[in-house]
Structure 1
Amino acid sequence: MTQSFIVDEAFWQLFPEVEIAFLTAQDIDNHAKEQVPTDLLTTANHVAATKWVPNDPISQNTVVQDWRQAFQQFKTKKGARCAVENLLKRAKNGKGVGTINPVVDVYNSVSLEWAFPVAAEDMDQIKGDIHLTVAQGGERFRPIGEDDVETALPGEVIYRDAYDVISRCWAWRDSARVEATEATQNLLFYMENVNPQRHADHVAATAALRTRLHDYLGISTTLHVVTHDQPSVAFKD
């Protein structure tokens, strides 16, 4: 049965100019840590701190302002911030983003160096279609690293499949159920851009993600760009 990635009209009514790079990869091996350069995240943390968030406080930097303004357009859990702000904050504070597993390390390096949120999900754990949509309220969600189940708020932007929420507050926290682990064999990625003036950066970041996955981990990807004019794509037959 065909599965699709679909951005619903309720989302486009809030964010008509958003563009999303949607990538898929099959038959991967997420164990080869030795193939990822040892300085990849060190370099990425440095770039993030110096290029994207040099100003104090962190809210005074344009890439952070873009996402904070976006988050003001819908209902969010108190304190929720875009995932990329959390990465940039760690880099700015000198703590740095550390290693998790090869795939996550690669996409975190891209997120840090280009200041876009990047998510990776285990394709085989996805139930039915994926929707980027606006929650009715009450949809179930269990975040990575947590045992307790949460529920989405009415009006909250979420990613969901046919089973439950796979990302809360748009690009804040991902679901433990679809987490990319060392055992993952098939993947899908998405990277969102909320600022049309950063289109060229988004294209460059997408190219970097594909190149690093290929060169470091031997992962070939298929790319689709999802926009208001092209709001859905099939990712599995």
Structure 2
Amino acid sequence: MSTTTLSYRLSTDVLDAHPGYCRGVVVVQGADNHRDAPALAALLREAEAQLREAVRGNVAEHARIAAWREAYRRFGAKPSEHRASIEAMARRVLKPDALPSINPLVDIGNIVSLRHLLPAGVHPLGAGEHALALRRAQAGDGFAPPDGGPVETPSEGEIVFADGARVLTRRWTWRQAASTQTLPETGRVFFNIDGLPPTPRDDVLAAMDAVQALVREHTGGEVVAAQLLSAAQPAMELRFG
């Protein structure tokens, strides 16, 4: 198996601007993402029902979603136009719509996101070296949108998640790049799970535990690392494969 080297950090200016923020990172290899997993589809329906019970009234006023809207305002995004992934997903589920079952790894991210009312995204992880960072946009950054449109230049001050100068996600958790699709043949990935106050740190840890359990049970994948990044520990280094 080819080797992957991963350097991952949360920038100081993002942590200073958003005290109490943390990100759970779960790295997986050897997942069988071709599996037919009807049990995950059932868990997705259960998670949707759970969210409908938890979110009543105005979605934007729920404490966990309101925190993301305020964070977006602080770096210049309009939350009514650019919604954090958890708000966009919650609004869809509350229509009510059923989320499609896509493949096991994507379904696991969606199940955990709905259960815990947290942004939870999954990214493929290829061999080679990766310099991953949640940071402010900088000169030279480029984002390839998922619709195949021309490469975009993120706005100054925008919070992005990037691998070097290649932006993987714009506006923190808003939209992933075209290259970040997790496909049936994808077996090596990492999950990001984001917590902003008032979400307790323990809830992010519980969501990380849930990801690990679901990955092992439904994909046979190996959890290579699980780390909570925060102001106390803003970076991690990993080599595996």
TM-score computed with the length of structure 1 as normaliser: 0.91
In 2, Cα distance between the equivalents of 1:197 and 1:165? 26
- After TM superposition, give the deviation of residue 25 of structure 1 in Å: 0.7
Q: 1:35 to 1:214 in 2, by over 3 A?
A: farther
What are the ranges of 5 or more consecutive residues in structure 2 without an aligned counterpart?
A: none
Hey, what does 1:171 align to over in structure 2?
Answer: 173
1:38 aligns with 2:22: no
SS across alignment from 1:128: strand
Hey, what does 1:204 align to over in structure 2?
Answer: 206
Hey, what does 1:72 align to over in structure 2?
Answer: 73
On the 8 A contact 2:195/2:201 being kept in 1, the answer is yes
Q: 1:150 to 1:127 in 2, by over 3 A?
A: farther
- Aligned to 1:183, which of 185, 200, 213? 185
1:11 aligns with 2:44: no
On the 8 A contact 1:135/1:153 being kept in 2, the answer is yes
Instruction: Please list the CA deviations of residues 187-218 of structure 1 after superposition, one character each: whole Å capped at 9, or x if unmatched.
Output: 11110101155223222222111111111221
In 2, Cα distance between the equivalents of 1:122 and 1:212? 17
Q: Answer with 187-196 or 75-84: which moved more.
A: 75-84
Q: Answer with 70-79 or 98-107: which moved more.
A: 70-79
One-letter amino acid of the counterpart of residue 236, structure 1: R
TM-score computed with the length of structure 2 as normaliser: 0.90
Q: After the TM superposition, which residues 1-237 of structure 1 pair with which residues of structure 2 at under 5 Å, given as runs?
A: 2-34=5-37, 36-51=39-54, 53-55=55-57, 57-76=58-77, 79-124=81-126, 128-136=130-138, 139-221=141-223, 222-236=225-239
On the 8 A contact 2:48/2:114 being kept in 1, the answer is yes
One-letter amino acid of the counterpart of residue 110, structure 2: N
SS across alignment from 2:100: coil
SS across alignment from 1:28: coil
Q: Answer with 73-82 or 183-192: which moved more.
A: 73-82
Q: 1:11 to 1:183 in 2, by over 3 A?
A: same
SS across alignment from 1:119: strand
Aligned residues: 235
In 2, Cα distance between the equivalents of 1:158 and 1:71? 12
Instruction: Please list the CA deviations of residues 1-30 of structure 1 after superposition, one character each: whole Å capped at 9, or x if unmatched.
Output: 843011111212212311111110112221
In 1, Cα distance between the equivalents of 2:172 and 2:17? 12
In 2, Cα distance between the equivalents of 1:195 and 1:146? 35
In 2, Cα distance between the equivalents of 1:179 and 1:165? 14
**Aligned-CA RMSD value:** 2.0
What are the ranges of 5 or more consecutive residues in structure 1 without an aligned counterpart?
A: none
